[in-house]
Amino acid sequence: MRIGSFTLRHGRPAIMGVVNVTPDSFSDGGRFVDPACAIEHALRLADCGADLLDIGGESTRPGADPVDTGEELERVIPVIEGVRRASRVPISIDTTKAAVGRAALDAGADMLNDISAGRFDAGMLPLAAESGVPICLMHMQGMPRTMQAAPHYGDLIGEIQEFLADAINRAVAAGVNRGAVAVDPGIGFGKDARDNIVILKRLAEFARLEAPILIGTSRKSFIGKMLDLDVDKRLEGTLATLAVAIEGGAAIIRVHDVAATARFMKMYLALRA
């Protein structure tokens, strides 16, 4: 899969740096709402080793309220334009809205990252087909506002696989190139701590979907619960989850702490070579 100037390669997961242009992010508390600060942060992540940047203007933390299209556009488009003027680093737009996705692509983004897997906006999959850019489709049980109320599965892995297989089929039916679809099992999106751990331990089973796997465990609450740590102290726990995820076949790892992850990755890959 080619994402802008970057090509995913077997055996070397891509580091996707997170840029939250939101006032209510669980991980960085609105530190980068100002476009200039967000652009500076994004470029710093690229310098630290991010292969891709994932820019989003709507928080999807548990309990988050939706953001209207106009406000989301005001948050992300100046940042995408600023990053693109300064760098050729590939940019992913993290949105569920086709209008935001289209404007982001026009501003220089190279990929769509939709946590709803094209379910919230009927225009998202046709946009991916028309533009020809890669799209990541994620599993989520429920909605961000309610997803952690009482997540429940009869067959955790089987149900997620079935959901993602259907998402891939819907994308292809909409005209998306099969080779341009990545999937995300949705760590923390309608899953409890045990569910998240099982997904990581059984990640290799998702290879049957024949699509690159994106994993986002960075600083998430299940790590905090296991280690009894606040969000800003979860780096070591995050790196442990990434080691298991990479072993299970993750092709893209979405993280906040890019510099530390890049150092971890260099050592990990040297040991695995």
Q: Per the domain annotation, does 9 fall within a domain?
A: no
Confidence of residue 23 (pLDDT cuts 50, 70, 90): confident
Tokens coding 138? 């994620």
Domain membership of residue 203 (yes or no) is yes
Q: How many independent structural domains does the chain possess?
A: 1
Domain with residue 62: its CATH number is 3.20.20.20
- List, for residues 145-170, the tens digit of each pLDDT value: 666 767 889 999 999 999 999 999 99
**pLDDT surpasses 70 at 28:** no
Contact 72, 64 (CB under 8 A): no
How far is it, in rounded angstroms, from Cα 6 to Cα 12?
A: 12
Cβ atoms of 193 and 222 closer than 8 Å: yes
Q: Is residue 157 part of a domain?
A: yes
**Looking at the domain assignment, is residue 126 inside a domain?**
yes
Element holding 181 (H helix, E strand): strand 181-184
Q: Which residues form the catalytic set?
A: 220, 254
* 7 located within any domain: no
Q: Does residue 147 lie in a domain region?
A: yes
Position 112 pLDDT exceeds 70: yes
Domain presence at residue 133 = yes
Instruction: Evaluate whether residue 248 is within a structural domain.
Output: yes
Taking a C-beta distance cutoff of 8 angstroms, is the pair 122, 170 a contact?
Answer: no
Range of the domain at 77: 14-272
- Give tens-digit pLDDT for 116-125: 999 999 999 9
Is the model's pLDDT at 29 over the cut of 70? no
Q: Given this model, what pLDDT does residue 30 score?
A: 66
